[in-house]
Chain A
């Protein structure tokens, strides 16, 4: 397939002023109901036109023929740990923002559990300035709910929102004080921003390192019962009902949480939710199979096969709104230790799209896709997928179309965070955050090749299909695989 970049004239010096004509790609833009082979013109940093046979409207235009490739709105990851300030050995805003873009995320929201925590305007401004300097993905900071993330007093939420925070969360330190959670939900109504909760009863989880169940019993590891998540989700939904605030549940891992969310939706409670790729694709068995590899240690923990199937179905049904990576980089020295001593978390920015494309997208590539397209994920042995083969059960789980995937990786997270500039869409006039994906590109997860400083992934060695080829942010081509990755401005 042709992927040549043909500069019609020598490029202008101001790159954001360049025009790009992306021709003949399969445009999937569920926000506008587009799912067809179309041309798209990027000009002056925005999506200028989308349609059949879009003509150049004069001036220099770079033309890219994208036959057989997918053109998507830039993806949005609403749950990322960038570690800066304070833990730059794990990740920096610059390395994380590059990892995001290489993984197809043109926007990300970063959690405030840095050192110090992002609990005032200074911290929020610092993140935005560093992100602007990095010139990769857009970075939207999330402020802390409580001062120092200590779960005691409200942080300077108004000041943070004014500085650019798009939500608040004490992620990593679940809010135990129900009155504080109530006040956060109430107070945030002033701006109608979501309160993002890592739902977990800390007392039930104390000392736990994996899901509580047969596998934890066998391995002799302290368990974290699923009920600790479900009860907290229920509490938070009740508080959202009480306050009419906006609640977002991070990384739903339990079937019981799905039941609570379904009930909450029926009640009209304003709650949204996300799920991670690892909770969609892995179970607690992975801890046993990997022989206590700390890259299977995440919080919330990998759960049972029944939980995995239920969160998958909930994502399909829309009870869970979106996919977020919960990208949590750690140093190899921190992870390559006794299971009990290792920190929780895995990276995900550079594997999420490939995992989703390979394992969630079904045989149907979407209405506009040419016949004869190979089924994504076909030929991958169940055992390579990292779950018990008899329990894998993806056959009985609903598959997703590309449009549904874009909905859950771009449209919904942008909507939940109310990101500006038409993020998650290819609407005319929206910021030209666009990615091109080769849905048939086969590759293998090699952590040593990540742009992220964190190499801690349970998916190392997994064969995947589907990869980002180009990424524009604000009309500027910042990542082009054929040109060796990132383009310096």
Chain B
């Protein structure tokens, strides 16, 4: 099949972060994920694509939701899944991570899905093993499949990503979700507003996209995806060049076909004032132990300043079609009210389902699969 100029495959064996992905690669994953969603409606919820392949969930932090999502994704593609949590592995006996990974590889693991509390551990692991490493969340660095499923969710709800203004609310400093969302959204042409108390905003974060990463500066514009798809093609913004804020704005805006009134990433400490300008808001989970480090006075005060509920959306003048998201698990009543989380404008449940589809797409593409349309002819 003609690739139509698309990025035909992922470049690496691993998925470590969104920062170093090209916009075309993100686009490819999102397009591949779309048909994967049918797994939820098919009577037989399996594709045979990865039969005989082994994916290991290596989780050094508990996360039932992410681990289950990866497990469902792998099983839907007929891969075998092994789950290792810290309490049941030799990790507790002091076996080093590198050694553990090499053992898993020797036992035939094709992919190691790693969740770890230390930033950079997936990159470290990827250097040590030939198996593919998929980052399922590392410290405060990235959670790339979460970032991808957030993009996918926005795309399905809004029909586009470019030109949208997306607010991320909460503990940006420690949030791997925020960093993956930030890279994914800006690469796809959205604006990002980071909202939270000043103590939970990392230094210079508004300069991340302007200064760019080697990958971002190397990214080239990708032509629109193959025609004939009913799927709305999101206009792709090339990652901004590092030259200057204004230059990057105009480049992103030109590629997105819209005029952006703001730099790609801005920071606000005041949720009320920026809420009316947002098209999407992603509320982040507040880790209550941050309070003990003196980063905010109390959960009560945090909630007064940064909680979202329907009454506030009304009173503060949110757009009627504001899309509300949360990567979960939510502290209901603290950062988001239960009724808002369950309201029609909330995409929280879809985020969960979309997560499985996106992770299927990632596994499929890392296995060297062709784009999604081919999948269906192979398996349908």
Contacts and interface: CB of A to CB of B under 8 A. Distances in A.
Interface of A: 212-214, 216-223, 291-292, 333, 336-341
Interface string B206-217: 011001010000
A219 B141 contact: yes
B313 interface: no
Interface residues on B, range: 20 to 34
Contact of A214 (B97, B179, B208): B208
Contacts of A214: 203-204, 207-208, 211
Given A220-B141, A337-B98, A339-B124, A213 B118 contact: no
A338 B204 contact: no
B49 interface: no
A336 B98 contact: yes
Which residue, A216, A218, A336, A339, has most C-beta atoms of chain B within 10 A?
Answer: A218
Nearest to A340: B118
B139 A340 contact: yes
Contact of A338 (B121, B127, B176, B205): B121
19 contacts: A214-B208, A216-B202, A217-B202, A217-B203, A217-B204, A217-B205, A218-B179, A219-B120, A219-B141, A220-B138, A220-B140, A220-B141, A291-B123, A291-B124, A292-B123, A292-B124, A338-B97, A339-B119, A340-B118
Contacts of B142: 220
B120 A292 contact: yes
Given A216-B203, A220-B179, 13 more contacts: A216-B202, A220-B138, A220-B139, A220-B141, A220-B142, A222-B140, A223-B203, A292-B120, A292-B123, A336-B96, A338-B116, A339-B118, A341-B118
Contact of A221 (B98, B120, B207): B120
Contacts of B124: 291-292, 337-339
B208 A218 contact: yes
B171 interface: no
A338 B123 CA distance: 9
B19 interface: yes
Interface in B281-302: none
A190 B121 CA distance: 50
B216 to A, nearest CB: 11
A340 B119 contact: yes
Contacts of A213: 203-204
Contacts of A292: 119-121, 123-124
Contact of A219 (B96, B119, B207): B119
Nearest to A223: B203
B19 A291 contact: no
Nearest to B121: A338
A336 B102 CA distance: 13
Nearest to A388: B214
A217 B123 CA distance: 16
A296 to B, nearest CB: 11
A217 B203 CA distance: 6
A220 B208 CA distance: 12
B289 to A, nearest CB: 13
Nearest to B183: A218
Contact of A217 (B116, B117, B208): B208
Nearest to B172: A217
A294 B17 CA distance: 19
B97 A337 contact: yes
List 3 tightest A-B contacts by C-beta distance, closest first. Answer: A292-B120, A220-B141, A220-B140
Interface string B1-45: 000000000000000000100000000000000000000000000
Contacts of B141: 219-221
Contacts of B213: 218
- Interface core residue of B118, B121, B123 (most chain A CB under 10 Å): B118
Contacts of A220: 119-120, 138-142, 176, 179
A332 to B, nearest CB: 10
Contacts of A222: 140
A221 B121 contact: no
B127 A291 contact: yes
A221 B97 contact: no
Interface in B173-230: 176, 179, 202-205, 207-208, 211, 213
Given A217-B202, A220-B179, A339 B120 contact: yes
Contacts of B117: 340
Given A220-B176, A221-B119, A292-B124, A337 B96 contact: yes
A338 B208 contact: no
Contacts of B208: 214, 217-218
A218 B98 CA distance: 24
A218 B180 CA distance: 10
Interface in B101-131: 116-121, 123-124, 127
Nearest to A333: B96
Most buried by A among B142, B179, B202: B202
Interface string B136-158: 00111110000000000000000
Contacts of B204: 213-214, 217
A198 B205 CA distance: 30
Query: Could you say which of B117, B120, B211 has the most chain A C-beta atoms within 10 Å of its C-beta?
Result: B120
B247 to A, nearest CB: 16
A291 B120 contact: yes
A288 B208 CA distance: 13
Contacts of B202: 216-217
Most chain B CB atoms below 10 A, which of A217, A336, A337: A217
A11 B140 CA distance: 65
A475 B96 CA distance: 48
A365 to B, nearest CB: 36
A217 B97 CA distance: 24
A297 to B, nearest CB: 11
Nearest to B173: A217
A292 B141 CA distance: 11
Contacts of A221: 119-120, 139-141
Contacts of B176: 220
B126 to A, nearest CB: 8
A338 B118 contact: yes
Interface string B238-271: 0000000000000000000000000000000000
A292 B213 CA distance: 15
Nearest to A294: B124
A341 B116 CA distance: 12
A291 B202 CA distance: 20
A212 B207 CA distance: 14
B88 to A, nearest CB: 20
A136 to B, nearest CB: 33
A108 to B, nearest CB: 32
Nearest to B124: A292
Given A218-B208, A220-B139, A212 B203 contact: yes
Contacts of B96: 333, 336-337
B47 to A, nearest CB: 33
A223 B202 CA distance: 9
Contacts of B116: 338
A337 B99 CA distance: 10
Contacts of B207: 214
A339 to B, nearest CB: 5
A333 B95 CA distance: 11
A43 to B, nearest CB: 54
A465 to B, nearest CB: 28
